[in-house]
Structure 1
Amino acid sequence: MRIRRPLLLSSLISTIVIPAFAQQLPAEGELQSVVVTGTYAKNRRTVDSESPIDIIGARELQASGSTELATVLGRLLPSMNFPRPSGADASDAVRPAQLRGLSPDQTLVLVNGKRRHSSAVVNVNGTQGRGSAPVDLNAIPLSAIDHIEVLRDGAAAQYGSDAIAGVINIILKKGAGGGDAEVGVGEYQKRDGKQLTVRGSTGFSLGDQGWVRVALEAADRDPTNRAGADFRNPAEPRYGKVNQRFGDPETRPRSVFVNSQYRVNDDIDWYAFANYGQRNTSAAATWRTALNGTAQRTPLYPEGFLPLENSESQDTSLVTGLRGEASGWRWDVSLNYGRNEFQLDLDHTVNQTLGAASPTHFYAGKLLNTQQLFNVDLAREYPVAAFSGPLTVAVGAEARHESYEIGAGDEASYIGTGAQGFSGFRPVNAGRNSRHNESVYLNLEADVSRQFSTSAALRHERYSDFGSTTSAKGSARYAFSEAFSLRGTASSGFRAPSLAQQFYTITTTNFSVVNGVNTPIETGTFAVGSAAAAALGATPLKAEKARNYSLGLQFSPLSNWSTTVDAYRIDIDDRIALSANMTLSPALQAALAKQNILVGAGRYFTNAIDTRTTGVDVVSSYRLDLASAGRYDFTLAYNHNKNSLEHVNANPAILTANNLTLIDRQTINRLTVGSPKDKLSLATDANWGAWSARGVVTRYGSFTVPQNNATLDQTYDPQWVLDLSTSVKLNKNWRLSAGIDNVTNRYPDQVTSAGNLNNNGINPYSGFAPNGFNGRYYYAKAAYNW
């Protein structure tokens, strides 16, 4: 069933709250700016930072044909990977992004310095990020964003769980002045994937003491399809036709951000920002042929059918608080609520157990994730006679409550074989679980001399479900001159197992290639504390533990030229992974049948893997100002990243006795070689008069899609992609833009036919491809600013 395209209206608008401590963007002719991420000191610039920080402005975010935040960041940040899986159930609708090749949920996402809630969706299919339930970056509209700060360093001692790979802090627009509205359209070279986007922002005064901003964004995005024709069975009615849909899903996102600030008195400000977003997605499952062997599969679809997974993802968030200054202390007290609800319907499909009486529409159930936080943050500067600058002392506390809920679907969606495409959540899967944790932290920062600065952080957390953990971090920077400095950090960190990883449970039909044929098998995903998981050797989850080290140099020989080189190592013990899809022996199937669980395969989450990540980031920026001939900004950015296996826990005895392996080769290699080894980006921004232009060439490095049979592994060659755009300012208010993403229409390598991993040529591309597989994209925009 196609999602109806409503008429897009809008006077679109944008929002923001000032973060806990103020920031500003670079002035003309400068390459540095004040940052707030990873520091509690006032007026800390990127050039003074002891950890690498990228700052991405609104102009960079919108100089692309894409309106998805994760897609844009995947192009702008060499250390970020954002593949586009297809045919991966809910992962088609909520696609995960990786920083430094690590798990998507090992990156902390903040909005205005406040923790963003995670998605309720668990990535359980064979995609990158399998087993994670991260923040849905694409739920945050570009129209609301002023700029983004990306801290490429472990920061659990400063922010708590999830900040192993780094921190993405999204800073929203602020103030009452000005506004913008934009309409954009686009289409792929293949004449599909048409997009219409309407967005904008504006602000209003609250008397003379405050302001409120609103940002709205709405888009209609048609699906793309790069599937091949189906030549599997000449007896099929649709033999030789393109039956599968393999590409981006159809999406209809709608989002609003509202943000405000009001001065209560000379010492106290009230602030609040809120978000509501809804995204409808229609993704295709695997084509069901008309014949099952020689028998008719269902009389309802005599030519075969393509199940559609129609989902609705709703995000709601509200942060409000008071901040001010008293007795030299800057203070911030806030409440934070976040919620994601994901509902799934199946259309154009059947439950074969019900035969001709089967409905063709099914409600498959819902997932719901919520968080509530209370934060108190204090900071002040103490003069120290021996130091060149003050000692900044920051202390704080946090109380957090989280819950995770599974709601059952219609009986017809799960009874018997269940709905084709996605068997619904059963009443036995349904339930609500929660936990709480409390934490305290201390952060110290000081400029000991004009050349030497240092900082230290300590954080202690206590979780109601698995116990306590303490993280520490130390950083330092030494400037040999104004042009050259060294910096380094060392830290310990952790990531708490999410409630989704502990309690997600469902029975679905997965497909495995058996003797060259995609064969369905009923697969149970069991909560790690359940009797079913215990029967397969499961043990309770515990926190992942990390050790981060980095060493970098900063080189700024000129005021308009800056280069940073940062090497890093991240050791993670007890990484949480979703186990292999274990095809159960008759004995284990019988054991689970006694619990009324009828499956042929099973899996659960486990702490089983230790890994080491090593790499280097290089960022070099140069600004050339030719006065009447225009201004030109050149940026080179490069990341090289290597993930390696350090240890795998011993296989549970019950599995060994049944010739099963909990952590298979594919699970390990997905973590170590599944994301690109490196990425290089060369960007040029030109501005002359009313005209501006941007060109970016990106080299996505090689990656490997692993299989349990090593001979079926496929390593994909690097891919070069060129993006070009230009814009012209017609007058004070109007601006027209146009561009082409992937100018040379480059596609990744096709999946080889070995082992029938391309499904007889029907699925020609890999969902691991870091730039997708849609080809050239044309777009145009018209914007009005005031």
Structure 2
Amino acid sequence: MKRIAILFFLFNTVFIFAQKQISGVVKDNTGSPLPGVNIIEKGTNNGASTDSDGSYKITVKEGASLVFTYLGYSSVTKLANASQIDVSLSEEGGQSLDEVVVTGSRTAARSNTTSALPIDVLSSKDLTSTGQATFDKALQYKIPSFNTVQTPVNDATSLLDPYEIRNMGPSRTLILINGKRKNLSSLLYVQTSPGRGETGADISAIPTDAIERVEILRDGASAQYGSDAIAGVVNIILKKNVTDSYVTLRSGITSEGDGEMLGVSLNSGTTVGEKGFLNYTIDFSKVNLANRPGTVDAEGDAGDFGATLADVQSYLAKYPDARNINGSPENASAKFLINGGSPISENTNLYYNAAYVYKKVKSFANFRTPYWRPLSDDPYLNDFYGNGDAANPSYEGYGPTFEGDLSDYNGTLGFKNVKNGWNTDASVTVGGNKQLYSVNNSVNRSDILDTDGNNVYRENSPISFKPGGASFNHIVGNLDISKILSDQFSIGFGTEFRSEYFSVIEGDKASWDGTGADSFAGNRPENSGKWNRYNVGVYLDVAFDVTKDFQINGTVRHEEYSDFGGATVWKASTRYKFLDDKITFRGSVSTGFRAPTLHQIYTQKSQYSFVAGQGIQISGIINNVSPQARQLGIRPLDAEKSTNITVGVGAKPFQNFTVTVDYYNIKVEDRIVLGDRQNTRFGNVAWFSNSFDTRTSGLDIVLGYNNVGIGEGKLGFNLSGNVTLENERISPVTQNSFGDILNSLTFTSRPETKWILGINYEIGKFGFSLNNTYFGKTTFNQDGLISNEVRDTDGNLLRDANGDPVRDETKPNLKTQFIPKIVTDLGVTFNPNEKFTIALNVNNLFNVLPEWKFVAENEQGAALLADPARTKQQSNLLTFNQRYSTMTYDGFHFSQLGTMFNLSLSYKF
């Protein structure tokens, strides 16, 4: 026994002395510490990572080698021949940070030219170089497949504009912040504009100065991330910098002298404790109203409102725009964001981020002229909006305001642990969005009597109303585990729990009683309430490098929802590199799903909207779980299902040149739409349904050639484009009414093609950029536009067996087309020293405005357009008698404000 004990002691002594502990610090080539660097004992699964100050410790065998890897930097291998090994990682000769992404796989990160998935990466500099005031508008002029629009009559939409990738609607793009799900907005888009019937996250609320980079996955990703990722994923990576602070002053104005903008932001950082970090951003901004009303047609207004032509002409002689306010609304915002982390043990790091945004927006409804709201019908209006003198009234109408207060918050707290090569990430994310509305300069015109026989409203009406609002919030728990098992194989798996809450907030009684507040009726008690659901998801993700050039990846996910059941989806992707990684072929096939939002399930409301030729009318939305829906035979909503196919090639033939071309094909089954209004026993109403299947296909092309030496400076070119090959319904309409109007909004309201050509030149202390964005053809069939669709005596659309509208070919049929345009942006930066930066941006340099024309769909339509009087009548119907002559009532795809000048001053300290 003694001999055995001695041998055991000697064995352990040899083993102990055969191991050694190595420590050190890892920095970049500027001397800044790099947190999160992976250190692996070569040929083993033994690993560690650096703390927030770049320090590490690892125990390895005698004679081992250490491999240091970090996103965007060349890997370094060091022989473990000393107890202290400090390492400097450099970008030179390796991949730049803009080439490396973490989005798209739950295992190892890949570069975008050699990844299996198409991903765009934008740096903070890319975003700020656009000169755009908000993050969503910056993406509009950087990503061809990304589109956003500002609707001309805003109402609640003035608080945030609908956006989308690949013409798929805002609800099919998932927004992440540092890889964690961003909460949806509480707003459901119900205007007759792109995005109708959908909702999305408020990405305009995110301060641009807080963003380090943005990774945009242009591929279906429901298997990796869950619902809402049918079209793609936008992952916003926040800054970690603690060494420098930046204060930036921004100002701007349009060439018309309105829309003045003033903003100030601070981005700074500090260490927390010995090894932690905290980066924070504070951003305040104010934008004044920019008004672009049209010159109102007197004959059209006289006909619409039953007024004498002389009275209308007399008023329009004084106010040619009928005092309409139409353009970009006044808004103010305050944004606060933090991003931090700190080690809490040798192997575990705490991380967190949080943001709060407040926005105040003031927009306007259509102005109620005295021939629209005459004193003969409502004499008390002279007391509210005139001089109160019945004999000599000075009443000239009134303009209801729509004012919105938005608060949006999100926060994540999590822990990352690395032990024996296993990476564990556990987090809790909360987020919410609340919108409260106000209507001023309005009146409740309802004839409602109290018990004494007196009018409750009319002459006794308030002129300010609180119509209520909506709120949405969620709580998300994530557990993600991954490991690189070998040089060839990595694995990731995890789970997610999400609980969602949606509320419709009741308005004050005067806002909804009777016909409610003129211009925007409040939420009625029976339509208000709070609803909740939860879901649980699990996934497994594996990646296998068959060879160093051939890689395959597979993911499977299952989710269970409390309100409609479960969904199982999967994804398979691959890439093959050759010619020393200069060319990569890649492709993916996946299934996906999108759960109907709580907004779509439970929203029920009455709303004012403009109906061409009929003025402002009240219509409604009934939800799918209401008694009214059951009486009409409307079925509850189910999840959309999708099939995504992507095939592409990426090439980097030499150091500064990259090109990617990707084909995508997206089939969505049981697509959820808000149908046409229909006359029913409950009035003129619309509802949501899983109505039909669609297919969207196209090409994404991205080309970049940078660091070209011209004289003493460097020149760079970037060309990117999106071409839509197919975007249409591929099945009969099964549950709803879907005519030409909704067909246009769903399928043709975005450019058929969009291209961005950017040229950058840096020389000495100056930088110059010239950006040209080509917006291709867009077509609309607007509400009120003459159509040969056939309707029954109740005004409901008749459909054939395929769900297509029945047509009367003896009647004219028209559509409108927005003419392709190129918008040019110029940027100039000047750095007088290393601390001070001056940037001037002239957006829409050549004052290009949206322009549209009528297009005849048949011979009768062509005959109509040959008659100037009938053509004018059609134009009046679409533009509310020329109030919206630049872009029509239903929207457009770039700004109607013309040239804008923006100047920013940034100081680093």
Instruction: Tell me which residue corresponds to 2:228.
Output: 162
Instruction: Tell me which residue corresponds to 2:650.
Output: 554
- Counterpart of 1:485 (choices 573, 577, 584) is 584
What's the offset of the Cα at 1:126?
0.4
What's the offset of the Cα at 1:28?
6.1
Please tell me whether residue 286 in structure 1 is matched to residue 407 in structure 2: no
What's the offset of the Cα at 1:65?
2.4
- Counterpart of 2:574 (choices 465, 476, 500) is 476
Change (3 A) 1:667 1:18: farther
Change (3 A) 1:173 1:119: same
Contact 1:184 1:197 in 2 (8 A): yes
Contact 1:750 1:764 in 2 (8 A): no
Instruction: Tell me which residue corresponds to 2:330.
Output: 250
AA partner of residue 699 (structure 1)? Y
Q: Deviations over 1:387-445 (max 9, x none)?
A: xx331100000111001001111111011111111100011111000000000000011
Please tell me whether residue 721 in structure 1 is matched to residue 823 in structure 2: yes
Q: Deviations over 1:499-520 (max 9, x none)?
A: 010011111222211xxx3423
Q: Distance in 1 between matches of 2:685 and 2:230?
A: 29
Please tell me whether residue 135 in structure 1 is matched to residue 204 in structure 2: no
Pairs within 5 Å for 1:578-593: 578-582=674-678, 584=679, 588-589=680-681, 592=682
Instruction: Tell me which residue corresponds to 1:654.
Output: none
Instruction: Tell me which residue corresponds to 1:597.
Output: none
Question: What RMSD in Å do the two structures reach over aligned CA positions?
Answer: 2.0
Pairs within 5 Å for 1:510-525: 510-513=609-612, 517-525=613-621
Please tell me whether residue 700 in structure 1 is matched to residue 796 in structure 2: no
Contact 2:640 2:672 in 1 (8 A): yes
What's the offset of the Cα at 1:327?
2.7
Q: Distance in 1 between matches of 2:99 and 2:154?
A: 41
Change (3 A) 1:65 1:624: closer
Q: Distance in 2 between matches of 1:327 and 1:484?
A: 35
AA partner of residue 290 (structure 1)? P
Paired residue secondary structure (1:90): helix
Q: Distance in 1 between matches of 2:175 and 2:908?
A: 29
Q: Deviations over 1:204-256 (max 9, x none)?
A: 11122101111011110011111113333441574241211111111101100
Pairs within 5 Å for 1:499-538: 499-513=598-612, 517-538=613-634
Paired residue secondary structure (1:757): helix
- Counterpart of 1:336 (choices 429, 434, 437) is 429
What's the offset of the Cα at 1:258?
1.2
What's the offset of the Cα at 1:702?
0.6
Instruction: Tell me which residue corresponds to 2:501.
Output: 403
Contact 2:668 2:695 in 1 (8 A): yes
- Counterpart of 2:479 (choices 360, 376, 399) is 376
Contact 1:751 1:764 in 2 (8 A): no
Instruction: Tell me which residue corresponds to 2:251.
Output: 185
Instruction: Tell me which residue corresponds to 2:311.
Output: 235
What's the offset of the Cα at 1:19?
13
Please tell me whether residue 441 in structure 1 is matched to residue 539 in structure 2: yes
Change (3 A) 1:259 1:18: farther
Paired residue secondary structure (2:746): helix
Instruction: Tell me which residue corresponds to 1:307.
Output: 400
AA partner of residue 451 (structure 1)? D
Q: Deviations over 1:596-628 (max 9, x none)?
A: xxxx41111111021100100000000134286
Paired residue secondary structure (2:141): helix
- Counterpart of 2:746 (choices 668, 671, 687) is 671
AA partner of residue 361 (structure 1)? S
What's the offset of the Cα at 1:483?
2.1
Q: Distance in 1 between matches of 2:585 and 2:707?
A: 26
Please tell me whether residue 124 in structure 1 is matched to residue 124 in structure 2: no
Q: Distance in 2 between matches of 1:547 and 1:562?
A: 29
**Structure with more relative contact order (C-alpha pairs < 8 Å, separation 6 or more):** 1
- Counterpart of 2:152 (choices 76, 86, 89) is 86
Please tell me whether residue 776 in structure 1 is matched to residue 851 in structure 2: no
Q: Distance in 2 between matches of 1:440 and 1:770?
A: 39
- Counterpart of 1:760 (choices 881, 893, 896) is 881
- Counterpart of 2:731 (choices 642, 647, 653) is 647
Contact 2:107 2:541 in 1 (8 A): no
Paired residue secondary structure (1:356): helix
Aligned length, in residue pairs? 741
Please tell me whether residue 543 in structure 1 is matched to residue 639 in structure 2: yes
Instruction: Tell me which residue corresponds to 1:4.
Output: none
What's the offset of the Cα at 1:76?
0.5
Contact 2:819 2:853 in 1 (8 A): no
Change (3 A) 1:676 1:28: farther
AA partner of residue 703 (structure 2)? S
What's the offset of the Cα at 1:770?
1.6
What's the offset of the Cα at 1:731?
1.2
Range moving further from structure 2, 371-380 or 205-214? 205-214
AA partner of residue 884 (structure 2)? N
Instruction: Tell me which residue corresponds to 1:7.
Output: none
AA partner of residue 663 (structure 1)? F
Contact 1:151 1:167 in 2 (8 A): yes
AA partner of residue 621 (structure 1)? G
Instruction: Tell me which residue corresponds to 2:835.
Output: 733
Q: Distance in 2 between matches of 1:19 and 1:310?
A: 49
Instruction: Tell me which residue corresponds to 2:510.
Output: 412
TM-score normalised to the size of structure 2? 0.79
Contact 2:152 2:891 in 1 (8 A): no
What's the offset of the Cα at 1:684?
1.1
Q: Give 1 or 2 for the bigger CA radius of gyration.
A: 2
AA partner of residue 700 (structure 2)? D
Change (3 A) 1:443 1:143: same
Unaligned runs of 5+ in 1: 1-16, 384-388, 593-599, 652-660
Instruction: Tell me which residue corresponds to 2:41.
Output: none
Instruction: Tell me which residue corresponds to 1:318.
Output: 411
Q: Distance in 2 between matches of 1:88 and 1:532?
A: 29
What's the offset of the Cα at 1:23?
4.0
Identity %: 29
Q: Distance in 1 between matches of 2:706 and 2:294?
A: 46
- Counterpart of 1:603 (choices 686, 694, 698) is 686
Contact 2:488 2:547 in 1 (8 A): no
Paired residue secondary structure (1:47): coil
Contact 1:390 1:447 in 2 (8 A): yes
Q: Distance in 2 between matches of 1:217 and 1:124?
A: 30
Range moving further from structure 2, 560-569 or 222-231? 222-231
Contact 1:529 1:540 in 2 (8 A): yes
Please tell me whether residue 615 in structure 1 is matched to residue 713 in structure 2: no
Instruction: Tell me which residue corresponds to 1:222.
Output: 288
Q: Deviations over 1:655-682 (max 9, x none)?
A: xxxxxx6222211232111111010110
Pairs within 5 Å for 1:446-465: 446-465=544-563
Unaligned runs of 5+ in 2: 1-34, 39-48, 50-69, 74-89, 303-309, 386-394, 447-456, 788-812, 855-871
- Counterpart of 2:352 (choices 238, 255, 272) is 272
Pairs within 5 Å for 1:195-214: 195-214=261-280
Q: Deviations over 1:331-361 (max 9, x none)?
A: 0000000010000000111111221221111
Contact 1:390 1:446 in 2 (8 A): yes
Q: Distance in 2 between matches of 1:649 and 1:364?
A: 35
What's the offset of the Cα at 1:59?
0.7
TM-score normalised to the size of structure 1? 0.91
Change (3 A) 1:303 1:712: farther
Q: Distance in 1 between matches of 2:674 and 2:630?
A: 15
Q: Distance in 1 between matches of 2:461 and 2:162?
A: 34
AA partner of residue 335 (structure 2)? S
Change (3 A) 1:18 1:684: farther
Q: Distance in 2 between matches of 1:66 and 1:28?
A: 32
Pairs within 5 Å for 1:567-586: 567-582=663-678, 584=679
Q: Distance in 2 between matches of 1:95 and 1:739?
A: 23
AA partner of residue 377 (structure 1)? D
